[in-house]
Amino acid sequence: MTTRFRRAVVTGGAGFLGALACRRLLEAGTSVVCVDNLLTGSAQALTRLRSWPEFEFRYCDVTEPFDVTGPVDLVLHLASPASPTAYGRFPIETLETGSRGTRHALDLAERTGARFVMASTSEVYGDPEVSPQPEGYWGHVNPIGPRSVYDEAKRFAEALTAAYARAGRVSAGIARIFNSYGPGMRPDDGRMVPTFACQALRGDPVTVTGDGTQTRSLCHASDTVRGLLLLAASDLPGPVNIGNPDEATVHQIATRIIALAGSGSRITHLPRPPDDPMTRCPDISLARSELGFEPRIGWQQGLADTLNWFTRFVHPDRPRVPVGGGF
Ligand code: NAD
C-alpha cells in the first residue's frame, strides 16, 4: 500500500481481519485508532498491535454514538459479529451493529471528511441462483431465517452507506468480502476453516454439513485486507467483490485440511443448516479492472500456514514454523 492515509479509524480492529488491517496500515506509516467492544475480538491481537507507538485502542460499542477527536482520513468499518456462531449468539447486537453502528461510523467519516469503507459480505447474495456472483446480482436472501440477522444487517448497512454517498455526505466504498481465512483467526470462531483445522489437529471427526458438494471460495486474509486497502485508496463506490474465485467443494477443503494436519480424522456429515448457500464464488472482474486487485495466495497453499497457526492452540508443545502475515 502507498502511504496515502495519515490517521485511520478501524472499527472492529481487534477482530480477525481488523487486526491485520491495523497492522498493514501501521506498516504503511498510518496512525491507527482501533474502536472495538471486544464482542468477538481478540485481546491477544491487541497486545501485538499495542507495541506500535502509533496505535491507539478505544474500548467502544459502535451502536452508541462515538467520536474520535483530531484529523481522520480513513474510516474502515469492520465492526460486526461475522461467524454464524457469533451472530447466532448475538442476533440483536448484529442487527444493531449493522444499522446504528454503521450510521455512527458514517457520521464520524462525514464529520472528519474521511474516506469510508464498509465491510459487507457475500452473504448479501444469500443462496445465489447465479454463479459466479457479480455485483449486479441482487441476491436470494431469506429475510427472517436464522442467517437473516447478519445478511439483512449488511444489506441495510450497504443501503445506508449508499444513501450517505448519494447525498454527497461521504466518499464511500462498499466491499463485499467472500470467505476469508488465515492466521489470526480464533480457534473457537465457528467458521469452516478454524472448525475443520482444530478438529483435524485433535484427530476428531471433521464435521462437514450436508454431503460436502456445496462450494466455497476461500480468500487468504492478506489478500482480503490488500483488497480493502486498495478500495480505501480509490474513489470507487462499489459494491465490489473482494475474494478469490478459485472455488472448491467443502469436501475438498476438509480433505486438504486433514492431509495438511497429517491427521487420521475421518469426515462425518451433519445436517446442513437452514439457508446454507449451495455455491459461493465471486466474480472479481470489477476489482481486477478498477483496483488492480488479484488474489496471490491459493487456498491449498494458504491453508498450510493457517494449520500452523492453529497448532499453537491445539498442541502448544509442538514446534512450529513461524507463520507470515504479520502474526
Ligand atoms: P471478527 O468477529 O473477527 O471481527 C469483528 C470485530 O468487530 C470484533 O473485534 C468484534 O469485537 C467487533 N465488534 C462487533 N460488534 C461491535 C460493536 N457493536 N462495537 C464495536 N466493535 C464490535 O470478524 P472478521 O472476520 O474480522 O470480520 C470483519 C468484518 O468483515 C465484519 O464486518 C464481517 O462481517 C466482514 N466479513 C468478514 C468475512 C470473513 O470471511 N472473515 C467475510 C465477509 C465479511
pTM summary value = 0.94
What percentage of residues in the chain have a pLDDT greater than 70?
A: 96
Tell me the CA–centroid distance for residue 15 and ligand 1, in Å.
6
77 Cα nearest atom in ligand 1: 32
Residue 188 lies in a domain: no
The residue among 4 and 83 whose pLDDT is bigger is 83
Residues 6 or more apart whose Cβ sits within 8 Å of residue 16: 42, 82, 180, 182, 184, 185, 186, 189, 221
CATH classification at residue 92: 3.40.50.720
Using alpha carbons, list the distances in angstroms from residue 163 to 69, 106, 157, 172.
25, 11, 10, 10
Euclidean distance between CA atoms 40 and 197, whole angstroms? 19
What pLDDT is stored for residue 275 in this prediction? 83
Strand partners, 268: 207
> Residue 318: pLDDT band by 50, 70, 90 thresholds?
confident
Domain that includes residue 100, residue range: 7-181+220-242
pLDDT band at 18 (very low <50, low <70, confident <90, very high): very high
Helix (H) or strand (E) holding 215: strand 215-217
Ligand 1 pocket, mutate which of 22, 39, 124, 189 (most atoms under 8 A from CB) = 39
Does 99 fall in a domain? yes
Average pLDDT over residues 162-168: 98
Residue 253 lies in a domain: no
Which run of H or E residues covers position 230? helix 221-232
Q: Is the pLDDT of residue 10 over 80?
A: yes
DSSP string of 66-90?
A: ----S--SEEEE--S--SHHHHHHS
pLDDT band at 326 (very low <50, low <70, confident <90, very high): very low
The whole-number average pLDDT for the span 163-187 is 96
Cα 93 to averaged position of ligand 1 atoms, centre (Å): 12
Q: How many angstroms is it from 16 CA to the middle of ligand 1?
A: 7
Per-residue confidence (pLDDT) for residue 173, from 0 to 100: 98
Are 290 and 242 spatial neighbours (Cβ–Cβ below 8 Å)?
A: no
> Domain for residue 103, yes or no?
yes
In the chain, the percentage of residues whose pLDDT exceeds 90 is 85
Mean pLDDT of 129-154: 95
36 Cβ inside 6 Å of ligand 1: yes
Q: Are 280 and 249 in contact (CB under 8 A)?
A: no
pLDDT band at 2 (very low <50, low <70, confident <90, very high): low
Number of domains in the chain: 1
Q: Which of 59, 87, 125, 150 is catalytic?
A: 150
Give the tens place of pLDDT for each residue, 88-104: 999 999 999 999 999 99
Q: How many C-beta atoms lie closer than 10 Å to residue 227's C-beta?
A: 26
Q: Does residue 270 fall inside a structural domain?
A: no
**Is 303 part of a structural domain of the chain?**
no
pLDDT at 325: 39
Q: How far apart are CA 1 and CA 233, in angstroms?
A: 8
Taking the CA of residue 20 as centre, how many other CA atoms within 13 Å lie in the half-sphere pointing to its CB?
22
Q: What is the pLDDT of residue 13?
A: 97
Q: Is the pLDDT of residue 327 over 50?
A: no
pLDDT at 324: 40
Is pLDDT above 70 for 319?
Answer: no
- Catalytic-residue membership of 150: yes
Question: Mean pLDDT across the chain, nearest whole number?
Answer: 93
179 lines ligand 1 (CB under 6 A): yes
Calpha distance 321→243 (Å, rounded): 27
What would the pLDDT profile of 231-278 be if each residue is shown by its tens digit?
A: 999 999 999 999 999 999 999 999 999 999 999 999 999 998 888 888
Q: What is the pLDDT of residue 112?
A: 97
Cα separation, 37 vs 34, whole angstroms = 10
Confidence band of 3 (pLDDT split at 50, 70, 90)? low
Residue 323 confidence (pLDDT): 42
Alpha helices in 113-147 (DSSP H): none
Cβ of residue 40 lying under 6 Å from some atom of ligand 1: yes
Work out whether the CA dihedral 246, 250, 254, 255 comes out positive or negative: negative
Q: Which of 9, 11, 17, 62 to mutate to test the pocket of ligand 1 (most atoms within 8 A of CB)?
A: 17
Does a structural domain hold residue 300? Answer: no
**Residue 45 CB less than 6 A away from ligand 1:** no
In the numeric block, which cell numbers belong to residue 8? 485511520
Domain-located, residue 317: no
